[in-house]
Chain A
Amino acid sequence: MSWPRWWRALRFRSHLQAWLVRRLPPSAQWTLRHQRIYLLPTSFGWMLLGVALAIWVGALNYAVSLAYALSFWIIGLLLVSVLMAYRQLAGLTLQAGTADPVFAGEVTHFSIRLDNPSGWSRTLQGHLAGSTGRTSACQLSPHSSVWLSLPLATTQRGLLAMPALALSCDVPFGLIRAFAYVRLRQQALVYPVPQADVSGHRQGVSGEGEALSTAGDDEFSHLAAYRDGDTPRQIAWKVLARRDVLTSKRFAGAVAGGCRVLDWHDYPPGDDAESRLSRLAWRVLECEREQHCYRLRVPGAEVGPQPHQREQALALLARYGETP
């Protein structure tokens, strides 16, 4: 529903929203109570109130008793709608879930768990403040819970805190809108946008003065899930015997061709940080695709071969330069 221009000029709603959001402390869990629930008529609600007043004036003028009744009944309907809208939100419990990490420019989804502790069903919509995406509607049966997944487009690498969540509903008639703003403690990791780096410089095997490959081909590094092609020598038989899980031993420098080193300093000093991070991210993905051993180095940190190396490496890139 579009607002008239003068109304938008007042920007009443956005001011109100900003003010409401500022007052909120973030928390991992919220239960909606009357302090947090706001109720306002929709434009349809205002319209119907206007109609009720017009009927009332007509009743006054023509002394039509039943028209009074009609006018007052409409007003009563509006009042009851306020309660009905309020009841849709009251008592609802929200809990932050997790958000999948994405690359900058992609859409991340924050998930929120809604618990309906009451005996009536609810129909509501969730919307992230500042998100231009569509609102997500959901239905909650009595005594049930549901996961709400809210999309948010990302632009920048880093840790993205979940913006304030606006929950609203205007059932059953669309006359009164109940809404509540909550800030849930939830963060999404946004990796740098991978940027192709095919210059081929210094893609060589590690070992140039570094400890890695010289430390011995057979030095045990870590255990990883069995992959097709692992030799029987690599299988951790003790683990298999004890836990009945097929596990392979990984050895530093054991992979043919040695580990690639993806280094911050591979690039000329003039390159800016973001482009370095983007190209490093691309190279991490390349190594993962080729299942090539790699070692990522940025100033002050390093990620070597280990479980979840991809996530670790990308997270390192995403959070590079973050003030602790």
Chain B
Amino acid sequence: MTGSDALRRVLPVLLALAVTAAPLARYLPGWVVGLSAAMLLARGILLWQQRQLPPRWLVALAVAVPLVLLWLTLRTLIGREGGSALLLLLVGFKAFETFSLRDWRVLLALGFFLAATPLLFDQSPLAAGWLVLSLFSLTWAMAALHGKQPILASLRATLQALLLSLPLMLVLFVVMPRLPGPLWSIPAASATASSGLAEDMAPGSLSQLIPSNEPVFTAVFAGAAPPRRDFYWRVMLFDQFDGRRWFNAGVVDEPGGQVLGGNSVSYTLTVVPDKGRVPVLDLPGEVAEGLRERAGMVWRQPRPSDTRIRYRAGSHTGALLAEPLDASHLAYYRHLPAGNERTRALAASIRARSQGDEGYIRSLLEHFRLENFRYTLSPPLLEGGDIVDQFLFQTRQGFCEHYASAFAFLARAAGIPSRVVVGYQGGEYNPAGGYWQIRSSDAHAWVEVWLASRQSWWRVDPTAAVSPDRIEQGVEQAVPAVRAAVPILGGRPPAWIMALRQHWLAANFVWQQWVVGYDAGRQRSLFRSLGLGPEVDTAAVLKGLLLGAVLALLPLWWWWRSLPPREPLLVGWLLLAQRLRRAGVAVTSADTPAELLQRGTSLGEADREQLAALLDAYVGLRYRTREEAAPLAARRWLRGVRRFRPSARR
């Protein structure tokens, strides 16, 4: 293809590819996107100036350079980042060896594939909007490349085709079976750049998460939700202390324990697992399908993936975890490294004046409550050794990890087995969506102590003793720095903005639940509620397709039957006769324009003049005008008829 015709046909293709690739700029190395954009631009310029393409072998040779560079940057050419970057580079270079119509069509087909890649990174409503834009520009590029229609007609055909295929898409989306698992194994998610909880708990490891305030997971309760203070979401368990940080030594591996008492609640969680870790409400019952239980009642994915999952779970709030411990376990949960002598002395003194293990724990909580401790997001740094001593006797300012760490230490110092649980506490209820949103700012750490009298673990939250607001109302109330604020101006945003935000979040939640999260499970429950069948099997799918086809074909049928716009002269003539009849003029359907004017003598002067002008124009358009000029003038005449409202004369 050559010449200006080629430019008109091919430029939309380059444009569509640029639109399609644009969202990848957020996720891929800058030079990959930049290079591809430059290639597309350069191809457009070559086309504009009608210059020769470089020889194919040169293009093939040149593509090797960025591929090596890509390997050096990402260390892979497959998977999410690698695959997308590879495809994007190939599209850029392919444009440089594209000449025939067939070549351009191959490029366009690659563009459709490229449109799918940003979805691997983001499936928000915004990404969906961009997908529609990409699809529109690619489809229009197809019509433009075909080149047999003027621009306006091709735009209309594009819009028409996309709108007509939308219901077909929706039907297939709902009905086509979803598989519960992947076809082949996906490379494990990279451990980079996650905003999740850290591998261990040292001073500052949780408080750094708070300002990011990102959504972590949502919970929908079946029936009434428990009170907010019972919202302890377990994620990780740390059972050893090395003088600075708490961590999981991985020695105790077998799950054990039995949940005693408590109020049972059932709920559904939607979460993107963080390295296979998923939250569950304290204390969980039967482990959900597809997940495993690890030591200390925390749940894990057997194979970590970073796609969003949803699972139903049941829990018992306010329950005890009964687990008999033998001597070796007791020693393990009492182990402390050397150091922090003042803390050990404090433990001994409190132990001496309290009765039994439970009494000691209560005395510890009392100590935190009364001894002027402060709950703050930015406590003074704890440097060097004996950090528990420093915290308890000097700084006395800390976040939940400081309190949990010190409390677990104090318990062990008095010979009581203890461990630290890290997860989330609280959540924000969205009344518009009927769900609880848990954010990274809800990250929390608490302690479990083992009571010999009951042979079970008991949850103790020292932060609650220091700052009851944190537990009752959330971190926003307890720490002013976290409160939502208007940028620059400061202050709390007005109520309507908060309400709007709630609705936007609720819409996002529905989107997540029903569009992004439409999986095999959702499909099964939808099929059941639609009465298509108890399972997603061949019969049910066929039934669904049939039913859907009927619905999807309705707009197609309507389009097929849609009548063309009627001829304006005819429409106007009928309208004119109707208006005259309403004004009391006896008009028959066989009247000629001259006869009509004759009958119009009963009208007022102004009306008659207007009628004469209209009829004159009509005769001109009908019998004198050349065909080419007619449509516009006829439309103008029709507008004139619409404005003509003769009044009846007494």
Contacts and interface: CB of A to CB of B under 8 A. Distances in A.
A87 B560 contact: yes
B105 interface: yes
Contacts of B516: 65-66
A305 to B, nearest CB: 45
26 contacts: A1-B102, A2-B102, A44-B109, A48-B112, A51-B110, A51-B112, A58-B116, A61-B184, A63-B182, A66-B127, A66-B131, A66-B516, A68-B178, A69-B173, A70-B112, A70-B135, A72-B173, A76-B169, A79-B165, A79-B168, A80-B168, A81-B161, A118-B564, A142-B564, A172-B157, A173-B142
Interface string A37-69: 000000110011011101101111111111111
A115 interface: no
Contacts, number: 149
B564 A119 contact: yes
Contact of B119 (A52, A64, A80, A174): A64
B331 interface: no
Interface of B: 80, 101-102, 105-106, 109-110, 112-113, 115-116, 119-120, 123, 127-128, 131, 135, 139, 142-143, 145-146, 148-149, 153-154, 157-158, 161-162, 164-169, 172-173, 176, 178-179, 182-184, 186, 307, 515-519, 556, 560, 563-564
Interface of A: 1-2, 43-44, 47-48, 50-52, 54-55, 57-77, 79-81, 83-84, 87, 118-120, 123, 137, 142, 170-175
Contacts of B560: 83, 87
Contacts of B128: 66, 69
Given A62-B186, A80-B161, 20 more contacts: A1-B101, A50-B109, A51-B113, A52-B112, A55-B112, A60-B178, A60-B179, A62-B307, A63-B182, A65-B519, A66-B131, A69-B128, A72-B169, A79-B165, A142-B564, A171-B146, A172-B148, A172-B154, A172-B158, A174-B146
Given A44-B109, A76-B165, A64 B186 contact: no
Contact of B149 (A58, A83, A172): A172
Contacts of B116: 55, 58-59, 64, 67, 70-71
A62 B123 CA distance: 12
Shortest 8 CB-CB distances between A and B: which pairs? A119-B564, A76-B165, A76-B168, A172-B157, A72-B172, A73-B169, A173-B142, A174-B146
Contact of A65 (B123, B158, B161, B168): B123
A63 B307 CA distance: 7
A73 B171 CA distance: 10
A308 B560 CA distance: 51
A171 B149 contact: yes
A83 B556 contact: yes
A58 B519 CA distance: 15
B183 A61 contact: yes
A55 B134 CA distance: 15
Nearest to A73: B169
Nearest to A59: B116
A5 to B, nearest CB: 15
